[in-house]
Chains A and B, each alone.
Chain A
Amino acid sequence: MQISVDRVNDVTVALIPVEELDASNAAEFKRDVARILAADTQLVIDFSRLRFIDSSGLGVMLSCLRQMSARGGDLKLCGMSKQVRATFELVRMHRIFDIFPTCEEAVGAFSD
């Protein structure tokens, strides 16, 4: 999966390139995002293209957070649609992630 990566104010921003993150592609995303996680301790994952996420996709996000935390890093999320946000809330994952409406706010939070 071609995950586009940007660098903004010393923060890596990775855009989820698909509209749906689910059982069919979650493993592939996990594999491809691993190298991005390994490369930095400040990461924002941008959800602005994503329309649907299921428990497989959520599981990958949880795994990403754990990996980052284990390295002493921090992971923030941004750009969620209403439906994706609702799915995070349904499983209480909004309580363990910092989630921001926009990428700018997420990046800015690293300097707060």
Chain B
Amino acid sequence: MKAPNDLVSGIQESIRRNARYALGKEWAELSRYERFVAVALAARDRMVDGMLATEERYREQDPKRLYYLCIEFLIGQSLANNLRNLGIREACRQAVSNLGADLEEIEDSEPDAALGNGGLGRLAACFLDSLATLGMPTCGYGINYEYGLFKQEIDDGYQRERPDNWLAQSSPWQIARTDEACLVPVYGRIVHEADRHGAYNPMWMDWKVLIGVPYDMLIPGYGGRTVHCLRLYSARSSRDFDMRIFNDGDYFKAVEQKIASETITKVLYPSDAVIAGRELRLVQEYFLVACALRDIVRRFEESHSDFRELPAKTAIQMNDAHPALAVAELMRILIDEKDLRWSKAWEITRATLSYTNHTLAPEALEKWLVPLLEGTLPRHLQIIYEINRRFLKQVAVALPADEPRMARMSLIEESSPKRVRMVNLAIVGSHATNGVSAMQTDMLQSLLVPDLYQLWPERFSHKTNGITQRRWLLGANPLLADLVSETIGDGWITDLQQLRGLEPFAADSAFQAAFGRIKRVNKEKLAAIIRDRSHVKVDPDSLFDIQAKRIHAYKRQLLNILHIVYEYLALVEDGEEPATPRTYVFAGKAAPGYWYAKQVIKLIHDVARVVNADGRAQPWIKVAFLSDYRVSLAEKTIPAADLSEQISTAGTEASGTSSMKFALNGAVTIATLDGANIEILDDVGGDNMFVFGLEVADLHAMHGKRSYRPRDLYDDDPRVKRMAQAFTSGLFSPEEPGLFSWVLQTILNPNDEYCHLADLPTYLEAHRNAAEAFKDPGRWMRTAILNVARIGRFSSDRAVLEYARDIWDLKQV
């Protein structure tokens, strides 16, 4: 549909003007990246108008505001999303075309903003989109990492990390707010004095100062009426360099000090287990909290003077335990700076803060060494000790006397050296704690913090994750989005449950044909990407079986590989053809220090090399690994999937959100009963998912009785044995025969935490069922369409509305 002429010409003029005055060139002289910048600035102009209008509206109505704290925001590319949300994408396309260029090419040249590792950061980005679309007053707070998640290259099957200097060419989306910089003290010691009235007065002295400089990224909601900010902080040293050192003649030492300060926000930690205990990470976390709270208090004080009103006007969400220091920091501000009494400050703090637990993984449950905290944040440690003292007093009254229970609940773990339990701090210091799926919340309550749950059951709830359909269907799969809108109208864009209107069309042959054509087009596009990036030729008519997510043991990419090898050997040695040709696609990054995950990537490549080169395996099996998986690549990968692998060991994936993205794009899921898969199954129906594997209760019972005997399956089933031995035979690593011996060691280990062999038989069966189903296109299309029709509950709009209703008390404005 053509956009109105005046809109097109307005945008065209805006692009030209930005080329000239922001970039100092005429449009025709711009490089590819500069063209992106000029178009982005034209969009940003409109977003600024929207942001100012939004702020004006909020100033008039003084609503309660949400401040969403997260150490990661995985935004991806913004131009297409922003243009779409502003409702000017078509006009922009025409404007750019009038200037002799192609908008999609320009959009594709935008580097991903990868200020996050995976689910946590992407959820935060989806939530910001929903909060803006729903008009719920929000500001996001994060860190402006200079280097985001590393770029993944593959060298002889091995992952190599390259720095992601996404800000090397400064982002047009960022508006620097240097006048709103704030001072962040770190390190130092407590000087114990008495105040003027003789009362104990601890003073935090001898600290080093960091300056937090905010950069705002504007987040437009769909329709453009509401535009919010995501405020990202960069660390700067307080002076260009220490003049005294410089004057002493040691220029390099002076500069070193400057560099050390600015290191704080240099690099996103790639969720490595070795983060634990790292001082820089602690300073990063405090930097985020200190900058955010300073800004939140400043905003509050613009129109309020009584801090007792803070909870009525402010909701602060701590995402995972990274910002848990917000509890101590808010207390510090209220007591030390605003002179409130402890009890009132505590009441305000708890009422203002809430906490989401996003993971059950032990390495993610942060505990900071007390000596480290003492040296880095001495005043906060004092406050945490006092919080703990009062909390344990309360516990002693509320629950029967029980020393072990008190020890478990304490904010201080009495190890040597002692540690501060940040999850406990977040729960104790907030009024609401939620998990991100029903299953994970249940485990949080019964396994992770049962004592806290027993004390305060009313504080706990689950808020199942969701995804924004605007990026993940409207943006990523425009053909499918158009088909859906033509069929049931476009109300689904802001109310995803309307997708239910597709159900009557699931068995309609014309609709199925259109749906199937779109899937084929998407598969052809992905096949071209696979050919270009992975140098593997795949057949778009084969079943596209995709596992795209972070590489991690619990996600069990290894189980997927076991299936592939099993099928491959059955084919080449037994002549058993699979029911349907299949292309297995893997994508995802491994944390740089995670040996196992990196070995999995190497294994995938070596299995692919052997299988793809074996003429006997054609046309039945192809394997490809897509390198440098990121949001923009996900937007091309997900729409092409026929089968979505969600195969984590039950009880390990807190929620999972890729499952929702795949289903929304018409993939059928093969899944364990883990995370949000269970709730998706409830909605989509058992006939429309391939479910397998042991459930959480079975696994716990098995571990409890130590009755897991993977060797039995290995010994009893010759095909399983053959498959397993292929990893030690040198089949996939002829030049290094022992390279993959770890596979056999892992799967035969009775202590295999992720129980690969326990789930293998039912996994194989589920795959056989999926392949059989795929052979019947009508049946497959019907199933795929029903997945789309029934995934509506898993919009981040729904998730955010639940948070707003139950936790934040936030209203649409």
A positions within 8 Å CB-CB of B: 22-25, 52, 54-55, 58-59, 62, 83, 86-87, 89-93, 95-96, 98
Complex Cα–Cα for A93 and B203 (A): 7
- One digit per residue, 1 when the CB lies within 8 angstroms of any chain A CB and 0 when it does not, for chain B 205-235 equals 1111100000000000000000000000000
Complex Cα–Cα for A22 and B245 (A): 13
Cβ–Cβ contact A54 & B242, under 8 A: no
User: Known contacts A55-B209, A96-B195, A96-B196; is A91 also within 8 Å of B204 by CB?
Assistant: yes
B206–chain A nearest beta-carbon distance, Å: 5
Interface size of B by Cβ–Cβ distance < 8 Å?
Answer: 24
Complex Cα–Cα for A59 and B191 (A): 10
B640–chain A nearest beta-carbon distance, Å: 54
A80–chain B nearest beta-carbon distance, Å: 14
Chain A residues closer than 8 Å to B204, beta-carbon distance: 90-92
Cβ–Cβ contact B206 & A55, under 8 A: yes
Cβ–Cβ contact A58 & B205, under 8 A: yes
Chain A residues closer than 8 Å to B202, beta-carbon distance: 92
B201 CB within 8 Å of chain A:
yes
Cβ–Cβ contact A87 & B188, under 8 A: no
User: Known contacts A93-B203, A95-B195, A96-B201; is A22 also within 8 Å of B183 by CB?
Assistant: no
Chain B residues closer than 8 Å to A58, beta-carbon distance: 205
A29–chain B nearest beta-carbon distance, Å: 13
B214–chain A nearest beta-carbon distance, Å: 16
A-B contact pairs, 25 of them (CB 8 A): A23-B244, A25-B244, A54-B209, A55-B185, A55-B188, A55-B205, A55-B207, A59-B205, A59-B206, A62-B191, A83-B183, A89-B336, A89-B337, A90-B204, A90-B336, A91-B185, A91-B204, A91-B205, A92-B201, A92-B202, A92-B204, A96-B193, A96-B194, A96-B196, A98-B196
Looking across the interface, which residue of chain A has its beta carbon closest to that of B206? A55
Cβ–Cβ contact B238 & A22, under 8 A: yes
B243 CB within 8 Å of chain A:
yes
A54-B238, A58-B205, A92-B202 provided; 9 other pairs, C-beta below 8 A?
Answer: A55-B185, A55-B208, A62-B205, A87-B183, A92-B195, A92-B201, A95-B196, A96-B193, A96-B195
Chain B residues closer than 8 Å to A86, beta-carbon distance: 183, 337
B239 CB within 8 Å of chain A:
yes
B25–chain A nearest beta-carbon distance, Å: 39
Question: 5 closest pairs, A vs B, by CB?
Answer: A95-B195, A89-B337, A24-B243, A24-B244, A55-B207
Chain B residues closer than 8 Å to A91, beta-carbon distance: 185, 203-205, 336
B339–chain A nearest beta-carbon distance, Å: 8
Chain B residues closer than 8 Å to A95, beta-carbon distance: 195-196, 201
Among B195, B201, B239, B336, contact of A22 (Cβ-Cβ < 8 Å):
B239
Cβ–Cβ contact A90 & B337, under 8 A: yes
Complex Cα–Cα for A87 and B184 (A): 10
Chain B residues closer than 8 Å to A89, beta-carbon distance: 336-337
Looking across the interface, which residue of chain B has its beta carbon closest to that of A89? B337
Complex Cα–Cα for A90 and B379 (A): 10
Chain A residues closer than 8 Å to B206, beta-carbon distance: 55, 59
A57–chain B nearest beta-carbon distance, Å: 11
Chain A residues closer than 8 Å to B194, beta-carbon distance: 96
Cβ–Cβ contact A24 & B242, under 8 A: yes
Complex Cα–Cα for A96 and B204 (A): 13
User: Known contacts A62-B191, A89-B336, A98-B196; is A24 also within 8 Å of B239 by CB?
Assistant: yes
- One digit per residue, 1 when the CB lies within 8 angstroms of any chain A CB and 0 when it does not, for chain B 170-190 equals 000000000000010100100
Complex Cα–Cα for A55 and B204 (A): 9
Cβ–Cβ contact A90 & B185, under 8 A: yes
Chain A residues closer than 8 Å to B183, beta-carbon distance: 83, 86-87, 90
Looking across the interface, which residue of chain A has its beta carbon closest to that of B245? A24
Complex Cα–Cα for A23 and B196 (A): 27
Complex Cα–Cα for A92 and B193 (A): 10
Chain B residues closer than 8 Å to A93, beta-carbon distance: 203
Chain A residues closer than 8 Å to B239, beta-carbon distance: 22, 24
User: Known contacts A55-B205, A58-B205, A87-B183; is A92 also within 8 Å of B336 by CB?
Assistant: yes
Cβ–Cβ contact B203 & A62, under 8 A: yes
Cβ–Cβ contact B242 & A92, under 8 A: no
Chain B residues closer than 8 Å to A55, beta-carbon distance: 185, 188, 205-209
Looking across the interface, which residue of chain A has its beta carbon closest to that of B204? A91
Complex Cα–Cα for A45 and B471 (A): 59
A4–chain B nearest beta-carbon distance, Å: 22
In this complex, the member of A25, A90, A92, A93 whose beta carbon has the largest number of chain B beta carbons within 10 angstroms is A92
B307–chain A nearest beta-carbon distance, Å: 14
Complex Cα–Cα for A14 and B373 (A): 38
B203–chain A nearest beta-carbon distance, Å: 5
Complex Cα–Cα for A22 and B242 (A): 9
Looking across the interface, which residue of chain B has its beta carbon closest to that of A98? B196
B328–chain A nearest beta-carbon distance, Å: 14
Complex Cα–Cα for A55 and B242 (A): 14
Complex Cα–Cα for A29 and B185 (A): 22
B743–chain A nearest beta-carbon distance, Å: 55
B29–chain A nearest beta-carbon distance, Å: 43
Chain B residues closer than 8 Å to A24, beta-carbon distance: 239, 242-244
In this complex, the member of A54, A83, A90 whose beta carbon has the largest number of chain B beta carbons within 10 angstroms is A90
Chain B residues closer than 8 Å to A52, beta-carbon distance: 238
Chain B residues closer than 8 Å to A59, beta-carbon distance: 205-206
Complex Cα–Cα for A13 and B737 (A): 83
Cβ–Cβ contact B203 & A92, under 8 A: yes
Looking across the interface, which residue of chain B has its beta carbon closest to that of A96? B195
Complex Cα–Cα for A24 and B207 (A): 14
A99–chain B nearest beta-carbon distance, Å: 11
Chain A residues closer than 8 Å to B188, beta-carbon distance: 55
Complex Cα–Cα for A54 and B196 (A): 22
Chain A residues closer than 8 Å to B205, beta-carbon distance: 55, 58-59, 62, 91
- One digit per residue, 1 when the CB lies within 8 angstroms of any chain A CB and 0 when it does not, for chain B 639-683 equals 000000000000000000000000000000000000000000000
Chain A residues closer than 8 Å to B203, beta-carbon distance: 62, 91-93, 96
Complex Cα–Cα for A59 and B203 (A): 10
Chain A residues closer than 8 Å to B242, beta-carbon distance: 23-24
B302–chain A nearest beta-carbon distance, Å: 13
A77–chain B nearest beta-carbon distance, Å: 13
A41–chain B nearest beta-carbon distance, Å: 18
Chain B residues closer than 8 Å to A25, beta-carbon distance: 244
Complex Cα–Cα for A63 and B468 (A): 57
Complex Cα–Cα for A54 and B257 (A): 16
Complex Cα–Cα for A58 and B196 (A): 17
Chain A residues closer than 8 Å to B191, beta-carbon distance: 62
Chain A residues closer than 8 Å to B244, beta-carbon distance: 23-25
Chain A residues closer than 8 Å to B208, beta-carbon distance: 55
Chain B residues closer than 8 Å to A23, beta-carbon distance: 242, 244
Complex Cα–Cα for A54 and B188 (A): 12
Complex Cα–Cα for A22 and B207 (A): 11
